[in-house]
């Protein structure tokens, strides 16, 4: 769980390999390589500033300008990614309206949308799901398994997208679109990019390399990255009821990880191609993140340490893409499939001091280890047909299968009292299980009038899980159990062009999320050690009805959008206490369907380019949540109000740029001072019942150091949280995990 000499030696070897490759590539003659420009540079000949509308595909499955998509969608392109140089794709989402983050550390952050997180957010890579059925509800799949340096565009759909993508898309969809091979039309060419990143907080080092090219009909792209980061430190100061001294370490926030990918493409012609892609990710010594009780001033509190000693993900994807077909049933056809293996170790250590009362000196230690092996296969076949020259029909099938196997080991020991034998339990908390999702969907994009368009669609979905024989497990509650559900969802999106520069948008859609393996079959202590969770094999799917009303404006140098939304979730799955029940000395809990959870809010964001080179951006988000059937139930641990802003100047021609950005988050209340019922249900967190507001400020700048022929060298310098504010993202505040102190980031990039 800690960096060993072998790990350190491996890290030095990894850096030395990249240094050798870096020197070799820079020594290559210029005639060998042709540059693929990694980021758009302003045209110095442009007379006036213009804000370009990005192209997105996730919301409709067909490329469309953001301005004419009848849904709240945000897009971050390669330029934005390289400006911020995030650890993972999650980190860059903090500046978007309606989007928040959960988790801390170099690779453990995950996104949330409109108060929904974990399994209510669907994470995609190039349109194929990454979510699996074995994750806990609050922990969706890690975006870190997709190398952020290999991402060309991040698309965020706020609100349900179950018609196109199926289960889990209640809160929204995040699609990580990766870099492709050079197109056939560009002829033979080669190029690449090498970067070296240093982040002083956590002493992070990260070299990366990306090579691409085309030889006739064969295109290729290969990338590799290695990262070694230690634990970071939080600044001194106060946050709610917590006060930290100087240099407080946030444990288990470092990681040693690596990403590799290779994409091969064979293009028959401009319109048809086959591809195969292999990806590999490995991470060691990551963790949930925590501040020690001694640093928090509560040495007698329960201690909880959750670590991920190792995670390995291997994935192979293959597919066929065709467009401009002359078939009677399709003009475009995409068929893709993948196999992914995800192996993960989880170690959990819980220490309960003074077990028999204050001063007893008796400590209960519960040390558990879990190994999970999930094999997933998936396929998606999708076609599109233009009808009557103005209506586009998109339809298809998808199927995903998870096969989950796991083992558990729990060691319980009592120290400080009379000798008590150590208890060793190898009973798995979750049985081996399979989980299948089969869906059929159809969506039409209808041009009803020159100024009025309608996107309407529906999906039929079947979700089936079945437990399998499991070593050391004979519990009749979870052995030989099958859960099968069928769901039909639909959506309708309307866009009305009031003026050429002004569109009104209205959406209504149903989303759903089928209960996963953990929620159905888990039987054992909760990860936080606060209770004992029993299975509920009769859980039903969560369903939601989401309504959005919005406006989009785009005119030359100004672009903005504003949306109000209401997301009504029925049969929401939440953990509830089973009254007067105790197992192994722990209160008993169970996942149950609750009546109605209501999320509503307002989001606005825009950009303005007053003069050539300057750009101002801002967004504001408001979120309100409630349990309709129990007003005393605390369900919100995300922002309530949030304001983001940035000011950027990019020198025409791309010689240098500089930007300043800030984020303000208003306070949020877990339990009001007068709400005694709420306080009786929630143990006061160390930060208090009120999550205080915070401000975060950062400055960044980039400079093209040299350009010789087709080879260019850039340096980027960032100072993140330069006011050294102590704060925690609200989803990390109750189990207090603060963000890093003032951080210097330096990135050297060479393109060729």
- Note the pLDDT of residue 30: 35
- Note the pLDDT of residue 50: 86
Q: Which are the contacts of 66, defined by CB distance < 8 A and separation ≥ 6? A: 53, 54, 55, 56, 73, 75, 552
CA dihedral 509, 565, 54, 558 (to 10 degrees): 150
The DSSP symbol for 157 reads E
- Note the pLDDT of residue 49: 87
The verdict on domain 5-751 having CATH code 2.40.170.20 is yes
d(CA 54, CA 455): 20
- Note the pLDDT of residue 594: 82
d(CA 511, CA 505): 19
List the Cα angle 28/34/37 in 5-degree steps. Answer: 120
Tokens 């049985």 -> residue: 431
* Residue numbers of the chain with a pLDDT score lower than 70: 1-47, 527-529, 631-636
- Note the pLDDT of residue 360: 82
pTM over 0.85? The answer is: yes
- Note the pLDDT of residue 733: 87
d(CA 76, CA 55): 10
d(CA 367, CA 640): 37
Do the beta carbons of residue 737 and residue 290 sit within 8 Å? yes
CA distances (Å), origin 308, targets 177, 372, 635: 27, 11, 27
* Inter-residue long-range contacts of 412-420, CB under 8 Å, 24+ positions, other chains counted: 412/364, 412/365, 412/366, 412/367, 413/364, 413/365, 413/367, 414/355, 414/362, 414/363, 414/364, 414/365, 415/362, 415/363, 415/365, 416/360, 416/361, 416/362, 416/363, 417/356, 417/360, 417/361, 417/362
Alpha-helical regions (H) of 495-625: 517-521
β-strands 151-158, 423-425 pairing: unpaired
CA distances (Å), origin 123, targets 65, 79, 587: 22, 22, 34
Nearest to 17 by CA among 232, 246, 209, 241: 209
Do the beta carbons of residue 621 and residue 98 sit within 8 Å? yes
Q: Burial of 456 by CB count in 10 Å (0-12 exposed, 13-18 middle, 19+ buried)?
A: middle
Q: Which are the contacts of 28, defined by CB distance < 8 A and separation ≥ 6? A: 752
Nearest to 134 by CA among 280, 425, 343, 332: 343
d(CA 507, CA 72): 9
Q: Is 85 left (phi over 0), alpha (psi -120 to 50) or beta?
A: left
Residues in the chain: 752
Do the beta carbons of residue 507 and residue 491 sit within 8 Å? yes
**Kind plus residue range of the DSSP H or E element containing 11:** helix 5-26
Nearest to 169 by CA among 158, 178, 180, 177: 158
Kindly report the number of other CB atoms within 10 A of residue 73's CB atom.
Answer: 23
- What burial letters (b/e) apply to 700-727, b meaning 16+ CB within 10 Å? bbbebeeeeeebbbbebebebbeeebbb
From the centroid of its chain, how far is CA 554? 29
Do the beta carbons of residue 54 and residue 73 sit within 8 Å? no
β-strands 586-608, 532-534 pairing: parallel
Terminal Cα distance for the chain, rounded:
39
d(CA 249, CA 302): 18
Secondary structure of residue 427 in the 3-state scheme: coil
CA distances (Å), origin 242, targets 251, 288, 528, 592, 671: 17, 19, 20, 33, 17
β-strands 656-665, 694-708 pairing: antiparallel
**In the structure encoding, which two tokens stand for residue 632, read together?**
């005393």
- Note the pLDDT of residue 527: 66
d(CA 285, CA 289): 11
DSSP 428-449: -SS--EEEEEEEEEEEEEEEEE
d(CA 660, CA 696): 11
d(CA 527, CA 735): 13
All structural domains of the chain with their residue ranges: 5-751
Q: Which are the contacts of 567, defined by CB distance < 8 A and separation ≥ 6? A: 114, 116, 159, 160, 170, 171, 544, 545, 546, 598, 599, 600
**In the structure encoding, which two tokens stand for residue 481, read together?**
């159990």
β-strands 151-158, 172-178 pairing: antiparallel
């Amino acid at each position: 769980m800690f960096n060993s000499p072998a790990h350190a030696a491996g890290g030095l070897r990894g850096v030395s390999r990249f240094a050798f490759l870096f020197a070799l590539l820079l020594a290559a003659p210029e005639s060998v390589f042709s540059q693929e420009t990694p980021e758009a540079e302003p045209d110095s000949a442009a007379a006036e500033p213009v804000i370009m509308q990005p192209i997105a595909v996730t919301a409709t499955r067909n490329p469309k300008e953001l301005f004419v998509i009848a849904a709240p969608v945000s897009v971050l392109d390669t330029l934005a990614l390289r400006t911020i140089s995030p650890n993972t794709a999650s980190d860059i989402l903090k500046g978007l309206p309606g989007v928040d983050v959960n988790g801390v550390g170099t690779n453990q952050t995950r996104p949330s949308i409109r108060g929904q997180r974990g399994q209510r957010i669907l994470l995609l890579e190039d349109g194929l799901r990454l979510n699996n059925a074995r994750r806990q509800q609050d922990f969706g799949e890690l975006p870190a398994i997709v190398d952020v340096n290999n991402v060309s565009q991040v698309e965020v759909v706020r609100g349900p997208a179950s018609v196109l993508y199926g289960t889990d898309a209640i809160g929204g969809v995040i699609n990580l679109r990766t870099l492709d091979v050079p197109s056939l039309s560009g002829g033979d060419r080669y190029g690449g990019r090498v970067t070296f990143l240093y982040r002083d907080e956590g002493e992070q080092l990260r070299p990366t390399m990306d090579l691409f090219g085309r030889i006739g009909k064969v295109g290729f792209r290969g990338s590799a990255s290695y990262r070694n980061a230690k634990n970071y430190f939080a600044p001194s100061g106060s946050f709610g009821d917590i006060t930290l001294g100087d240099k407080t370490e946030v444990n288990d926030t470092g990681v040693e990880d690596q990403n590799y990918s290779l994409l091969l493409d064979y293009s028959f012609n401009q319109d048809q191609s086959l591809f195969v892609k292999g990806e590999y990710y490995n991470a060691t010594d990551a963790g949930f993140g925590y501040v020690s009780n001694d640093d928090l001033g509560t040495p007698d509190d329960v201690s909880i340490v959750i670590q991920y000693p190792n995670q390995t993900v291997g994935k192979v994807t293959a597919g066929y893409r065709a467009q401009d077909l002359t078939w009677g049933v399709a003009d475009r056809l995409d068929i893709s499939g993948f196999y992914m293996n995800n192996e993960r170790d989880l170690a959990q250590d819980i220490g309960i001091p003074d077990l028999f009362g204050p001063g007893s000196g008796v400590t209960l230690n519960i040390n558990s280890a879990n190994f999970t092996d999930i094999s997933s296969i998936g396929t998606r076949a999708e076609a599109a047909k233009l009808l009557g020259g103005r209506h586009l029909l998109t339809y298809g099938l998808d199927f995903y299968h998870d096969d989950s196997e796991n083992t558990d080991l729990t060691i319980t020991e009592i120290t400080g009292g009379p000798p008590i034998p150590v208890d060793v339990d190898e009973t798995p908390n979750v049985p081996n299980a399979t989980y299948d999702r089969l869906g059929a969907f159809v969506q039409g994009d209808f041009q009803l009038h020159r100024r009025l368009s309608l996107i309407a669609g529906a999906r039929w979905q079947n979700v089936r899980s079945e437990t399998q024989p499991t070593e050391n497990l004979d519990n009749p509650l979870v052995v030989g159990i099958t859960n099968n559900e069928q769901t039909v969802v639909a959506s309708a999106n309307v866009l009305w062009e009031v003026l050429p520069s002004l569109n009104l948008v209205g959406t209504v859609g149903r989303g759903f999320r089928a209960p996963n393996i953990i929620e159905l079959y888990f039987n054992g202590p909760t990860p936080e050690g606060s209770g004992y969770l029993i299975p509920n094999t009769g859980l039903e799917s969560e369903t939601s009805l989401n309504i959005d009303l919005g406006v989009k404006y785009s005119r030359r140098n100004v672009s903005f959008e504003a949306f109000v939304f209401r997301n009504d979730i029925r049969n929401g799955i939440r953990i509830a206490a089973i009254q007067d029940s105790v197992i192994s000395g722990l209160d008993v809990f169970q996942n149950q369907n609750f009546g109605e959870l209501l999320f509503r809010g307002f989001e606005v964001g825009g950009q303005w380019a007053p003069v050539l080179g300057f750009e101002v951006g801002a967004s504001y988000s408001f979120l309100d949540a409630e349990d309709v059937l129990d007003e005393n139930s605390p369900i919100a641990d995300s922002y309530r109000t949030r304001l983001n802003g940035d000011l950027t100047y990019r020198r025409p021609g791309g010689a240098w740029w500089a930007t300043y950005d800030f984020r303000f988050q208003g306070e949020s209340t877990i339990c009001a001072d007068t709400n005694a019922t709420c306080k009786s249900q929630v143990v006061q967190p160390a930060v208090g019942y009120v999550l205080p507001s915070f401000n975060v400020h950062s400055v960044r700048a980039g400079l093209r150091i040299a350009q010789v022929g087709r080879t260019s060298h850039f340096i980027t310098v960032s100072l993140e949280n330069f006011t050294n504010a102590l704060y925690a993202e609200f989803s990390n505040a109750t189990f207090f995990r603060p963000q890093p102190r003032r951080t210097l980031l330096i990135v050297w990039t060479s393109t060729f």
